[in-house]
Amino acid sequence: MCRARESAEAAFPTITSLTDPRLIYLGNFTDAEKAPIVARTRQLLSMPVPSGSNRLVLAHAPNLMDLMGYFPKEGTLVVFRPLGEAAGFEYIASIPAAQWGELLRQGQK
């Protein structure tokens, strides 16, 4: 959790980060221990955000693996569209860290 929090603070120094203990690393947990963590991850990815804004969740790859069977490489930005708690979320794209610089340059044009 410390690494995720430190990454958020480094990337967004003017924004206060929130630490949710329900999103801890679950790599070595039993299925029963994982269930509330997976449920919280699903909830965060499904909840709508206010118009014109985004929600950034820094988490560990095993959490996504247990949620949707996808294990992103370290540093990958995974984009979802929240559809509401009843409908869940839609996976949009994965952006590996190697592409971040180019995307930033394109966004500054």
Q: What is the pTM of this model?
A: 0.81
Distance (Å, whole) CA 108 – CA 91 = 26
Helix residue ranges per DSSP H, the chain: 2-11, 31-46, 61-68, 100-107
The pLDDT, as a whole number, for residue 11 is: 79
Q: Quote the tokens at residue 71.
A: 């294990």
The pLDDT, as a whole number, for residue 80 is: 94
Distance (Å, whole) CA 41 – CA 85 = 11
Q: What is the mean pLDDT of the chain?
A: 87
Which residues of the chain have a pLDDT value below 70? 1
CB neighbour class for 37 (10 Å; exposed up to 12, middle 13-18, buried from 19): buried
Distance (Å, whole) CA 64 – CA 87 = 17
Tell me the per-residue pLDDT of 74-86, one tens digit each, with 9 for 90 and over: 889 999 999 998 9
